[in-house]
Amino acid sequence: MLMKGAVKFVIITGLSGAGKSQAIKVFEDADYFCVDNLPPALLPKFAELCASGGTIKRAALVMDIRGGEFFKSLFDALAYLSFHEWPHEVLFLEASEEVLVRRFKETRRRHPLAGEGSIQDGIRREVEMLAEIKRRADKIINTSSLTPAQLREEVQALFQQGESGGKLQIRLLSFGFKKGIPLDADFVFDCRFLANPHYVQELKPLTGIDARVKQFVFEDEASQDYLAMMQEMVEFVIPRCIKEGKTQLVVAIGCTGGRHRSVAMAEALKERLVLARHRVAIEHRHISEEV
Percent of the chain with pLDDT over 70: 91
CA dist 290 and 44 (Å) reads 51
Task: State yes or no: pLDDT of 167 exceeds 60.
Answer: yes
Say how far apart CA 178 and CA 167 lie, in whole Å.
Answer: 33
The domains of the chain, with CATH numbers, are 8-165 (3.40.50.300), 167-284 (no CATH)
Tell me what pLDDT residue 110 has.
Answer: 76
Contact call for residues 24 and 156 (beta carbons, < 8 A):
no
Burial (CB < 10 A; 0-12, 13-18, 19+), residue 153, is middle
Give the per-residue pLDDT at 204: 94
Taking the C-alpha atoms of residue 153 and residue 163, their distance in angstroms, rounded to an integer, is 14
pLDDT digits (tens, 9 = 90+) for 279-289: 888 888 888 76
Q: How far apart are CA 152 and CA 27, in angstroms?
A: 10
165 pLDDT more than 50? no
The secondary structure of 77-136 as a DSSP string is HHHHHHHTT--EEEEEEE--HHHHHHHHHHHTPPPTTTTTS-HHHHHHHHHHHTHHHHHH
Residue 22: enclosing H or E segment and its boundaries? helix 20-29
- Give CA–CA dist 122/22, Å, rounded: 21
Nearest to 261 by CA among 253, 269, 271: 253
pLDDT tens for residues 86-134? 888 999 999 888 888 888 888 777 787 776 678 888 888 888 888 888 8
Average pLDDT over residues 166-190: 88
* Cβ pair 201, 68 in contact under 8 A: no
Amino acid at residue number 26: V
C-alpha distance across the termini of the chain, in Å: 59
**Whole-model pTM over 0.75:** no
Q: Measured between alpha carbons, how far is 115 from 106 in angstroms, rounded to an integer?
A: 19
- Cα–Cα distance for residue pair 251/278, rounded to 1 Å: 14
Q: What's the half-sphere exposure (Cβ side, CA atoms, 13 Å) at 140?
A: 13
Which pLDDT belongs to residue 164?
Answer: 45
Top-confidence range, 55-64, 73-82, 200-209:
200-209
Alpha carbon distances (Å) from 207 to 204, 213, 263, 287: 8, 7, 7, 7
Whole-number pLDDT of residue 2? 47
What pLDDT was estimated at residue 243? 79
